[in-house]
């Protein structure tokens, strides 16, 4: 899809990958609707003329308001980027259920609810792109954040299933699986800390601008999946070909936590 003139709704746009997407899509002529909880962060990230809606996406009301305000202002939504999300470190077997529900509310139910609401509109126009920001953790389970992986696997299945469901309706879905991106994701995550080895691998992380560029290109070339950096495909492939080996290595890393 060509970006110029398109209306793009981006969640989690006050910082990190979402803010970088706002800059990237604006520089290619998109009209933006941005949302996150922090109004000040949104203002700093927002290019001129962007519509800003501050609110917590774990709440139904915020999800409803952000879509209705976008349609009121622009009359259309061409691209929805479900980017808002958070990490949760710690063992799955001892994490309080309340925390698990919060995680799924933000990382899975919010994208699903926004997609349902936006699809009513997109299906009537027979055009649109749903972009879901998953993670490499949604392709290979990371034992220091198993529940986060669960939320991203769920988002991946939703993206692939909806692609088939909506095939004849002119609507496409794109799954984005970033590896390590330099943002405040780890500081903003709940639970404990990742293992030292994981923290050290930050030196291989890509910038949020590089990640946003890969996302924009993915939309332009009608991609199904974007894994960024591309080298992360090697881990996905290794998991498919040698699962016991990869699981053993991951378990060993997790024991150092
Ligand atoms: N960084 C990485 O290494 C990495 C790797 C793979 C995947 N990802 C995924 O990429 C996405 C963006 O992550 P990031 O690295 O940019 O993290 P980040 O810097 O922590 O940004 C997260 C964004 O989500 C918003 N957000 C958080 N909770 C929210 C809520 N309850 N309601 C509304 N907005 C909320 C935050 O804004 P407010 O605080 O203002 O609400 C912020 O704009 C996430 O889905 C994450 O899982 C990140």
Distance from the Cα of residue 194 to its chain's centroid: 20
The answer to whether the CB of 175 falls within 8 A of the CB of 226 is yes
Q: Do the domain assignments include residue 2? A: no
Q: Do the domain assignments include residue 60? A: yes
Over the stretch 235-254, which tens digit does the pLDDT of each residue have? 999 999 999 999 999 999 99
Ligand 1 atom at minimum distance from 16 CA: 16
pTM (two decimals) = 0.97
148 carries an active-site annotation:
yes
The CA distances from residue 91 to 37, 52, 148, 223, 248, in Å, are: 28, 36, 11, 34, 17
DSSP structure string for 104-170: HIIIIIHHHHHHHHHHHHHHHHT-EEEEEE--GGGTS--GGGHHHHHHHHHHHHHHHHHHHHTGGGT
- Segments forming the whole domain that contains residue 234: 7-255
Ligand 1 centroid from CA 87, angstroms: 8
The answer to whether the CB of 107 falls within 8 A of the CB of 86 is yes
184 C-beta closer than 6 A to ligand 1: yes
Domains contained in the chain, number: 1
106 C-beta closer than 6 A to ligand 1: yes
Pocket perturbation via mutation, ligand 1, pick of 11, 12, 145, 235 by most ligand atoms within 8 A of CB: 12
Q: Do the domain assignments include residue 15? A: yes
- Cα pseudo-dihedral 134, 1, 71, 123, rounded to 10: -90
The answer to whether the CB of 212 falls within 8 A of the CB of 20 is yes
Q: Do the domain assignments include residue 219? A: yes
Q: Do the domain assignments include residue 1? A: no
The domain that holds 223 is classified in CATH as: 3.40.50.720
Q: Does residue 177 sit in helix, strand or coil?
A: strand
Side by side, the strands of the sheet bearing 128-133 are 51-54, 31-36, 7-11, 79-82, 128-133, 171-178, 225-228
Q: Do the domain assignments include residue 223? A: yes
199 C-beta closer than 6 A to ligand 1: no
pLDDT in tens, the chain (257 residues): 999 999 999 999 999 999 999 999 999 999 999 999 999 999 999 998 999 999 999 999 999 999 999 999 999 999 999 999 999 999 999 999 999 999 999 999 999 999 999 999 999 999 999 999 999 999 999 999 999 999 999 999 999 999 999 999 999 999 999 999 999 999 999 998 889 888 888 888 999 999 999 999 999 999 999 999 999 999 999 999 999 999 999 999 998 76
Residue 252 parent element (H or E): helix 243-255
């Amino acid at each position: 899809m060509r970006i110029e003139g398109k209306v793009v709704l981006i969640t989690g746009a006050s910082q990190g990958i979402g803010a970088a997407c706002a800059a990237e899509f604006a520089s290619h002529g998109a009209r933006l609707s941005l949302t996150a909880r922090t109004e000040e962060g949104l203002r700093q990230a927002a290019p001129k003329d962007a519509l800003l809606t501050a609110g917590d996406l774990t709440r139904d009301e915020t999800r409803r308001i952000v879509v209705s305000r976008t349609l009121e202002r622009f009359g259309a939504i061409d691209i929805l980027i479900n980017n808002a999300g958070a990490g949760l470190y710690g063992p799955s077997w001892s994490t309080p259920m309340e925390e698990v529900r919060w995680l799924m509310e933000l990382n899975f139910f919010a994208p699903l609810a926004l997609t349902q609401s936006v699809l009513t509109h997109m299906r009537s126009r027979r055009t649109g792109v749903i972009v879901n920001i998953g993670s490499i953790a949604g392709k290979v389970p990371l034992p220091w954040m198993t529940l986060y992986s669960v939320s991203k696997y769920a988002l991946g299945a939703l993206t692939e299933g909806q692609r088939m469901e909506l095939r004849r309706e002119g609507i496409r879905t794109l799954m984005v699986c970033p590896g390590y991106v330099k943002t405040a994701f780890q500081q903003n995550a709940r639970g404990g800390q990742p293992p030292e080895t994981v923290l050290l691998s930050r030196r291989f992380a890509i910038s949020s601008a590089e990640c946003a560029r890969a996302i924009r290109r993915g939309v332009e070339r009608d991609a199904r999946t974007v894994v960024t950096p591309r080298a992360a495909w090697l881990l996905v492939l290794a998991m498919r070909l040698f699962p016991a080996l990869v699981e053993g290595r991951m378990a060993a890393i997790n024991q150092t936590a």
